[in-house]
């Protein structure tokens, strides 16, 4: 099974690139979704998060309210680091288990979709990494239109994730999303044709 790591900052169009890959036949492992599941009620992750930030971050059903949690961690680097230290190992376990399940089921190509792919070390689980980039002005416009983010919220989110240039330098492929959604899909399809259909293999994991 071929494993692609897909990463990129908030507002770059990473989710749209993942959707394009899914349409081409890839199975998507969404790290954000796995993260949410890693601290759902009754799990070790839930206990870790509540121990760090208290029960005020819970909703009426006793689940972690991600909006409340986000308000805390995206404005405090230490809080964000503590959260990542608590849940990243749990998310990695879930990603590894999902990849093993897909491989056993005969999946040819899986995509680990993760904004913090490199920061969390999850790129070690992939054969190659594709990073989605976009000009800052395009990012700001998309986030304002799609999520209604204020300038201050956007600033905090971008600061929390760090610069994207080093990610692009490390990746095997860069997807420039400076244009339309159609153009993004065309770029993803071209990469798929070149790197998977023509050059792909069944190897899994970084090669020395």
Residue 75: is its pLDDT beyond 90?
no
Residue 123 to residue 144: CA distance in whole angstroms? 30
pLDDT for position 200: 62
pLDDT for position 148: 63
pLDDT for position 127: 94
User: pLDDT tens for residues 145-156?
Assistant: 666 666 677 666
DSSP state of 117: T
Which domains does the chain possess?
A: 2-198 (3.40.50.300)
- Helices of type H across the chain: 14-23, 31-38, 44-53, 66-73, 77-104, 136-147, 151-161, 165-170, 181-191
Q: What is the pTM of this model?
A: 0.87
Q: How confident is the model at residue 9 (pLDDT cuts 50, 70, 90)?
A: confident
**Structural contact between residues 20 and 105, judged by C-beta atoms closer than 8 angstroms:** no
Q: How confident is the model at residue 204 (pLDDT cuts 50, 70, 90)?
A: very low
User: pLDDT tens for residues 118-141?
Assistant: 999 999 999 999 999 988 777 777
Residue 23: is its pLDDT beyond 50?
yes
Residue 199: CB atoms within 10 Å: 10
């Amino acid at each position: 099974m071929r494993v692609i790591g897909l990463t990129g900052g908030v507002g770059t169009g990473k989710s749209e690139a993942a959707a394009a890959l899914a349409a081409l036949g890839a199975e998507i492992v969404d790290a954000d979704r796995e993260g949410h599941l890693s601290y759902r009620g009754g799990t070790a992750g839930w206990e870790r998060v509540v121990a760090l930030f208290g029960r005020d971050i819970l909703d009426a059903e006793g689940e972690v309210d991600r909006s409340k949690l986000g308000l805390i961690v995206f404005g405090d680097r230490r809080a964000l680091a503590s959260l990542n230290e608590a849940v990243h190992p749990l998310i990695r376990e879930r990603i590894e288990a999902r990849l093993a399940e897909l491989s056993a089921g005969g999946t040819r190509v899986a995509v680990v979709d993760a904004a913090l792919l490199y920061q969390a070390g999850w790129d070690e689980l992939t054969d190659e990494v594709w990073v989605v980039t976009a000009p800052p002005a395009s990012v700001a416009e998309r986030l304002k239109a799609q999520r209604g983010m204020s300038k201050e919220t956007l600033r905090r989110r971008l600061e929390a994730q760090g610069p994207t240039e080093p990610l692009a330098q490390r990746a095997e492929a860069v997807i420039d999303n400076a244009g339309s959604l159609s153009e993004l899909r065309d770029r993803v399809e071209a990469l798929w044709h070149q790197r998977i259909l023509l050059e792909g293999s069944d190897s899994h994991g970084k090669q020395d």
